[in-house]
Homo-oligomer: A and B are copies of this chain.
Amino acid sequence: MAQRRTAARKEGSPAYLEKLSQVVAAAAVVFKEKGYETATLNDVAEMIGTDRASLYYYVGSKEELLRDAVRDIATVNTEAARQIMMTEVPPREKINQFITKILLSYDANYPQVFVFLEQDLGKLTLEDNAWARSMILQVRKIEGIIMEMLQEGVADGSFRADLNVEYVAKALWGMLNWTHRWYKPTPADQAREIADTFSGLFLDGLATSLP
State the A residues within 8 Å of B (CB).
Answer: 33-35, 37-38, 92, 95, 118, 120-123, 126, 150, 153, 157-160, 162-164, 167-168, 170-171, 173-179, 181-182, 193-194, 197-198, 200-210
Cα distance A167–B168 in the bound complex, in angstroms: 19
Cα distance A184–B121 in the bound complex, in angstroms: 15
Collect the chain B residues with CB atoms within 8 Å of residue A95's CB: 206
**Of B178, B202, B210, which one neighbours A158 at CB under 8 angstroms?**
B210
Cα distance A37–B95 in the bound complex, in angstroms: 37
Interface of A is mostly: helix
- Beyond A164-B197, A178-B178, A205-B205, 10 extra complex contacts between A and B, CB < 8 Å: A122-B182, A150-B206, A158-B210, A160-B208, A167-B197, A170-B179, A171-B197, A171-B201, A174-B181, A204-B205
> Looking at A35, A123, A153, A201, which has the most chain B CB atoms within 10 Å of its CB?
A201
Interchain residue pairs A-B with the least CB separation, the first 4: A174-B178, A205-B205, A37-B37, A204-B205
Tell me if B207 and A201 are in contact (CB < 8 A). no
Tell me if B37 and A38 are in contact (CB < 8 A). yes
Tell me if B175 and A206 are in contact (CB < 8 A). no
Collect the chain B residues with CB atoms within 8 Å of residue A164's CB: 193, 197
A206-B123 contact, Cβ under 8 Å, with A37-B37, A37-B38: no
Cα distance A178–B122 in the bound complex, in angstroms: 12
Tell me if B120 and A181 are in contact (CB < 8 A). yes
Cα distance A179–B122 in the bound complex, in angstroms: 12
Cα distance A163–B197 in the bound complex, in angstroms: 6
